[in-house]
Structure 1
Amino acid sequence: MKIAILGSRGIPNFHGGFEQFAEYLAKDLAEKKYDVTVYNSHTHPYKKKTWNGVRIVHCYDPENKIGTAGQFIYDFNCIRHARKQDFDIILQLGYTSSSVWGRLLPKKSIITTNMDGLEWKRSKYSKKVQRFLQYAESLGVRFSDYLISDSEGIREYLQDKYNKSSVFIPYGALPFENPDEAVLSSYKLLKNQYSLLIARLEPENNIETILDGVVLGKRAEDFLVIGKHETTFGKYLKDKYKAYPNIKFTGAIYDISILNNLRWFSRLYFHGHSVGGTNPSLLEAMASGALICAHENVFNKTILESDSFYFSSKEDVASLLCSIQKNDHPAILKNNMDKIKNIYRWDIITGQYEAHFRDIMKKGKS
């Protein structure tokens, strides 16, 4: 079986969610002797043609020169190359900048698409862009033989809106089992005496609501904001909270070991994501022993159920910060770790993708 993975910036992961997923999936499939190809941006720091048995195809990607429009060109170049191959299955990660080229996808390959989150709901986009993203979503559905949802909420949405079934396969994580308190010294932190969030600094991730709650709570302990802040919204946030020295903008951190340790030793972990499916950072927080305070919405509640504290306002955030102690809730921590081990562990997830690929090979193109 020849499988291609399109829609990420490439592997090994130097960026984020889809890239980390592609890394785990491609490596696992290659170890099982599948013929796997992953498409990489030509700007990706890894320049070799193979990685752990996975074939790497580097395609021209001008995003760093011309911005978002470059994503469309990169996806076009990937699809154009794929047309000349003989892939049995093409797995598309997302649809935002690729579905406009859907007609060009290889006719003989089976196309299965992970539909990601509800991109058109992101408040950072203008109404015009949101309308385009809804159109792109419809094209993603139209030009795919099969659909994958990474949350039950997305699966229900696709069924209700498009009358299209999809297979539910969530994102994954690995249990974190070797904490090292020495990591805290670099950030001048003490165990259980700081709280944090890890997210892209975007409005729909409720960063401002959380930080307003930090200010309202008037606690002296440090609150870390981990995420790239060299953006318009990031600069706005840094300026708004510059009078509060306990709110510390660290910038993005990509070292998973550092992130795991910061989550493990934190008092509270705030997860404000409100758009999309099984969010990678949420599973990683569960897997690294964080006590989670999550924004109250169907996506988060489907995963966490009763094993979280929930907020919907700055007042809720302030109340949680002033009343909750991590050491008082060992059962919640254990329940979330058990979910990772029994439901969301990476080898389980990659196994579900393998089963999906075998199933659609039997069924053929829809």
Structure 2
Amino acid sequence: MRIGILGTRGIPNNYGGFEQFAQFLSVGLVQRGHSVWVYNSSNHPYREKEWEGVHIIRCTDWENYIGSAGQFVYDYNCLKDARKRGFDVLLQLGYTSNSVWHRLWPKDALNVINMDGLEWKRSKYGPLTRKFLLHAEKWAAQHGDILVADSTNIRDYLEKRYHRPLAHIPYGAEIPEYYVAGNLGRWGLDKQDYFLLMARMEPENNIEMIIRGWLAADRKKPLVLIGNPGNAFGSYLQKTYRKDDLLFVGGIYDAEVANALRHYSSFYFHGHSVGGTNPSLLEAMACECAILAHNNSFNKTILGKEAGYFASEDDIAGLLERLPEQQIIDEWKQVNTEKIRNMYTWEGIVDSYEQLFADNLQGKKRTDGKLQVL
């Protein structure tokens, strides 16, 4: 199959979850004999035309000059190019700006849309933007040939709202073969002697709630925050919370370093509240983290009983002052690692996408102009 993937800033991953997903999926599909093209932003530092056998198409991206509106220009440029490529499958990751251009989606390709999370619920957006994002969700759901949800919660919501079947394929993660404790040295950290939070600096990730709960507790361990603080919210957090034992270490895209910080943390905070199967959560599980997570259906579907949960600053302070016994913590780690090994492997995710593409290309079955999820 000739497969195009758009909707990310590109590969190799230098940003976040969808980029990580595009990286593993594209390489996995190439290893199975398919021809794969990934669209890269012109702002991406990687400049070659190929990476690990995946073809790279660079498209003009004005986000650095005009802000988030540049995403619409970037997606327009990607789709305009995709119309000329003769793809069998065009996988679009997310819908926030892609769906505006649904009339440009190549008609001769199978248009597969990964519907991501409930973007219109994100607290960082104002009322008008949320209204637009709800429309964008509707356009994607109406015009995509195949819709994919990464969590059962998202799938159930979309099926009920738009009366269309969805494929459920989660994200994946790798269990590291080793951890380099020496990576802690640059921040003066010791094994099991710090708390960790890894997230984009956005309000809906409840970073401020976690900081305030940590401050309110009778804390004895530093709190380390991994994430690029270059936006307005990140700047606000850094200016507001100045503590010697509150470490803003910035974005870390070296997997060996990030995995060591995860593995050797005492507890890992996961504050994400909007979305499906979050990649950073799976990576924390893969690194044998003891996890304290925001209490919502997305996180609970994945973690089940193998985590502590919070919904307020007081909850966080209480968790830190009354931590579980070591036996329970060890059980959390073991069970969550087994989930990664059995349910969230990249090999399994690549298999599922390959099968979804192949089935719907070879056995196209149209009802009311839409392909069925076979």
- TM-score scaled by length of structure 2: 0.95
Residue 195 (structure 1) shift: 0.5
User: Could you say which residue in structure 1 is the equivalent of 2:277?
Assistant: 278
CA distance in 2, matches of 1:220, 1:309: 19
Give the aligned residue type for 1:95.
Y
Q: In 1, are the aligned partners of 2:180 and 2:256 still within 8 Å (CA)? A: no
Q: How does 1:102-113 map to 2 (within 5 A)?
A: 102-113=102-113
Residue 6 (structure 1) shift: 1.1
Residue 132 (structure 1) shift: 0.5
User: Could you say which residue in structure 2 is the equivalent of 1:348?
Assistant: 348
Give the aligned residue type for 2:254.
D
- Which deviations, in whole Å up to 9, do the C-alpha atoms of 1:297-345 show, x marking residues without a partner? 0000000011111111111111111222684321111100000011101
SS at match of 1:183: helix
SS at match of 2:80: helix
User: Could you say which residue in structure 1 is the equivalent of 2:165?
Assistant: 165
User: Could you say which residue in structure 2 is the equivalent of 1:255?
Assistant: 254
Unaligned segments of structure 1, at least 5 residues: none
Q: In 2, are the aligned partners of 1:207 and 1:272 still within 8 Å (CA)? A: yes
- Which deviations, in whole Å up to 9, do the C-alpha atoms of 1:168-209 show, x marking residues without a partner? 000110002311211111110111111010001111111111
- TM-score scaled by length of structure 1: 0.97
CA distance in 2, matches of 1:38, 1:264: 31
- Which deviations, in whole Å up to 9, do the C-alpha atoms of 1:7-61 show, x marking residues without a partner? 1111111111111111111111111111111111122222222222222111111
Q: Is 1:304 matched with 2:303? A: yes
Give the aligned residue type for 1:132.
F
Unaligned segments of structure 2, at least 5 residues: 365-369
Residue 165 (structure 1) shift: 1.3
CA distance in 2, matches of 1:284, 1:247: 22
CA distance in 1, matches of 2:75, 2:34: 24
Q: How does 1:288-303 map to 2 (within 5 A)?
A: 288-303=287-302
Query: Runs of 4 or more off by more than 4 Å in structure 1?
Result: none
Give the aligned residue type for 1:135.
H
CA distance in 2, matches of 1:272, 1:196: 11
Q: In 2, are the aligned partners of 1:180 and 1:261 still within 8 Å (CA)? A: yes
Give the aligned residue type for 2:247.
K
User: Could you say which residue in structure 2 is the equivalent of 1:214?
Assistant: 214
Q: In 2, are the aligned partners of 1:222 and 1:248 still within 8 Å (CA)? A: yes
CA distance in 2, matches of 1:240, 1:45: 32
Q: In 2, are the aligned partners of 1:267 and 1:326 still within 8 Å (CA)? A: no
Number of matched residues?
365
Q: In 2, are the aligned partners of 1:274 and 1:299 still within 8 Å (CA)? A: yes
Q: Aligned pair in 2 of structure 1 residues 218, 239: CA closer, same or farther (>3 Å)?
A: farther
Residue 362 (structure 1) shift: 2.3
Give the aligned residue type for 1:358.
A
CA distance in 2, matches of 1:131, 1:281: 28
CA distance in 1, matches of 2:247, 2:49: 40
CA distance in 1, matches of 2:19, 2:33: 21
CA distance in 2, matches of 1:187, 1:323: 27
Q: In 2, are the aligned partners of 1:192 and 1:326 still within 8 Å (CA)? A: no
**C-alpha RMSD of matched pairs (Å):** 1.2
User: Could you say which residue in structure 1 is the equivalent of 2:367?
Assistant: none
SS at match of 2:148: strand
CA distance in 2, matches of 1:228, 1:249: 9
Q: How does 1:72-83 map to 2 (within 5 A)?
A: 72-83=72-83
User: 313-322 vs 261-270, which deviates more?
Assistant: 313-322
* Identity level (%): 49
Q: How does 1:72-221 map to 2 (within 5 A)?
A: 72-221=72-221
- Which deviations, in whole Å up to 9, do the C-alpha atoms of 1:142-163 show, x marking residues without a partner? 1200100000110011011111
